[in-house]
Structure 1
């Protein structure tokens, strides 16, 4: 099958849930023998090495303000036409113009927004509402299939384009497992060390809520790893002026260093006000580190259905009471969640599993 993937960043090393998914799925599909191409706006050495190892083809095409370079795109669609295109992301002008060109040529495409939550849609709502009305809703509506990374996101997509006639399905994001299999949670419950990993977007990731939870739990250490986010940098600076002594802000860490910190923690915690899919949550689950997440995550519904971890409200005092009881008196519950979440992650987040689910979807569309 000839497949194009669109929407990834120029390098597979850029840490981002969407980017992680695009490169992993494309790689696995190429290793399965399919002719898979990645559309990239730049090519760097990491992408070249990645493509050589997997047999993945890189198609370099520059962009204008609203589209991929028109003449080159037309030539590619004539000489290297795919059987199906998989677009990743949302509110992308280039993908809107690409979808128009695909539709004219009768080439089907799948759309995976990766971030469709009610809260995300409300952020910068005026610009998004206009763009949605004239561009994004028509683009999504013309998709042969749309996938959400959780059932909750799929429901949001269904409400966003309520008259959609194509296939609507939930397919989780994969995670890179090549290093994860070397690590297992050390059951370090007595350390009382809680860890968060992600950008310091105070509004989105609920950094202010995490800090307030920590204020109610002085006997616990809260270690937060990430980069400052420009849109909420001033808010973060205000938080730092009165940050509790048990909260530690660290630079982001990756690879073995990240996995070592996760494996030696007591609990992974994330208080996002909204979240389509948290890669660090999935990685923590895969190595068996128990997770506590706010009930505003899209994956919270899955946590509740399969009993995968602790869910708390965004009220810091209520959350702190629940966590205190859990960590001081419910070690058996932590051990249960560790094993149950690990089994779930290994079954559902493996790259081959996710890549195969998408291949089955492509076949369903083409035939």
Structure 2
């Protein structure tokens, strides 16, 4: 079978969830070649290049950037691209204009965000969606938001993001009887990181042998450090910094906490589950489709509820039977519904179907 070329569009390339989504799709044994057209290198372009991905820089000033749209159209034609995969509104608008200008290949869009957008942006999105063959929502939460914005329900597929191949992990060593609470993510408002530190302050009043390790980076780091200092928790909370593969930390965790105010999915939850960390997650993240109290794979709490967070964290940290049950049930969900090979296969099957259909027309 001929190799099919997929061109991903990203305005900003850092080391977040959308970048991981694309990197986790890359499989050298598949019939797909992934390329990346980007605007701003936020430190993540080299990661793609290290994976052998061809990267092309193109200025993208706005969703209605005519020059970028012409560049995209010409690049697609000149390099035999089979499908364009957009990941945010700006890039989807540019692809929309390229289609208006005559770009022949199909465009699909993945929605990675669940945050509320302005009426103007929602209006533009509704127009841009008309040139998407399919729209992937990474969770049922995202699907609801897409429908609110005017996307046609029959175009939307709910598919979880590709999962990284983790393999065998050796947990980090820690002090005997010490409990580790892990958090992985960007230090931003929507991730709820300041709420987490406030919650830890309440939790540490009830338990002595626990420490929190926070992995990530972001704009709120200075505010985090200030809170930790004000609470006098420097010996209880450690900001580890960014780790591309934090699996040895996760494997040593006695509790993994997702504290998002809003999150489309939450890939780190999956990584934590694979590494055997008991899960405590907010009901505001899309991963609740899979990890929840109904199937016994996670404990959940309402974002902003300090008391519920504290009670459920204490329950997991002090009851070994509960922690083990959460780990076992999460593993069942991962094997059944979030198997890495099957998730990638589902997305590649979508690529194949859309490309095949476009060639008939």
Same fold by TM-score, threshold 0.5 exceeded? yes
What's the counterpart of residue 109 of structure 2? 111
- 1:285, distance to aligned residue in structure 2 (A): 0.7
SS of residue in 1 equivalent to 2:19: helix
Question: 1-side partners of 2:29 and 2:344: how far apart?
Answer: 10
Question: Residue 184 of structure 1: CA displacement?
Answer: 6.4
The CA deviation at 1:273 is: 0.8
Is 1:198–2:185 an aligned residue pair?
A: yes
Q: 1:9 to 1:351 in 2, by over 3 A?
A: farther
Match of 1:87 in 2: 86
Query: For 1:306, which of 255, 272, 295 is the aligned residue?
Result: 295
Give the total of aligned pairs.
339
The whole-number CA distance in structure 1 between the counterparts of 2:336 and 2:86 is 25
Equivalent pair of 2:160/2:343 in contact (CA under 8 Å): yes
Give the corresponding residue for 1:261. Answer: 249
1:137 and 2:123 matched: no
CA gap 1:250/1:86 in 2 versus in 1, 3 angstroms: same
- In the other structure, the counterpart of 1:50 is 51
Q: Which structure has the highest helix share of the two?
A: 1
- Equivalent-residue separation in structure 2 for 1:234 and 1:253 (angstroms): 15
- 3-state SS of paired residue (2:167): helix
1:62 and 2:58 correspond: yes
Paired with 2:57 and 2:172, the residues of 1 have a C-alpha distance of 46
* 1:196 to partner: Cα distance: 0.8
Aligned to 2:19: 19
**Are residues 34 and 310 of structure 1, via their aligned partners in 2, closer, same or farther at CA, if it must alter by over 3 Å?**
same
SS in 2 for 1:82: coil
Shift of residue 161 of structure 1?
Answer: 1.5
Q: How does 1:104-253 map to 2 (within 5 A)?
A: 104-115=102-113, 117=114, 120-121=115-116, 125=117, 128-133=118-123, 135-161=124-150, 164=152, 166-177=154-165, 180-183=166-169, 190-201=177-188, 203-218=189-204, 219=207, 220-229=210-219, 232=220, 235-236=223-224, 238-245=226-233, 247-253=236-242
After superposition, the C-alpha distances for 1:280-329 in whole angstroms (9 at most, x for unaligned) are 2111111111111112212224222533211122311222122223322x
Q: 1:356 maps to what in 2?
A: 345
Counterpart for residue 316 of structure 2: 326
Shift in Å, 1:352: 3.1
Farther-moved stretch of structure 1 (272-281 vs 244-253): 244-253
Query: What is residue 75 of structure 2 aligned with on the other side?
Result: 76
Q: Work out whether residues 49 and 55 of structure 2, in 8 Å CA contact, stay in contact via their aligned partners in 1.
A: no
Alignment RMSD, CA only? 3.0
Tell me, in whole angstroms, the C-alpha distance in 2 between the residues paired with 1:137 and 1:294.
29
SS at match of 1:37: strand
Counterpart of 1:287 in structure 2 is 275
Contact 1:4–1:39 (CA under 8 A) maintained in structure 2: no
2:102 matched to 1:100? no
Structure 2 counterpart SS, 1:182: coil
Cα shift at 1:35: 4.3
Q: Residues 47 and 106 (structure 1 numbering): CA distance in 2 closer, same or farther, change over 3 Å?
A: closer
Which residue matches 1:270?
Answer: 258
Q: Which has the higher contact order (CA 8 A, sep 6+)?
A: 1
Cα deviation code 1:146-177 (max 9, x no counterpart): 11111222222122225x16421111112321
Q: Distance in 2 between matches of 1:105 and 1:283?
A: 38
Mark the runs of 5 or more structure 2 residues left unpaired by the alignment: none
Secondary structure of 1:306's aligned partner: coil
Question: For residues 339 and 46 of structure 1, do their structure 2 counterparts lie closer, same or farther at Cα, with a shift above 3 Å needed?
Answer: same
Could you tell me whether the CA contact under 8 Å between 1:4 and 1:84 is conserved in 2?
yes
User: In 2, are the aligned partners of 1:6 and 1:38 still within 8 Å (CA)?
Assistant: yes
TM-score (norm 1): 0.81
Change (3 A) 1:111 1:274: same
Query: Separation in 2 of the partners of 1:200 and 1:45?
Result: 22
Pair 7,190 (structure 1): closer, same or farther in 2 beyond 3 Å = farther
- 1:144, 1:166 within 8 Å by CA — same for their partners in 2? no
CA distance in 1, matches of 2:255, 2:171: 10
Query: Aligned equivalents of 2:161 and 2:79: distance in 1?
Result: 28
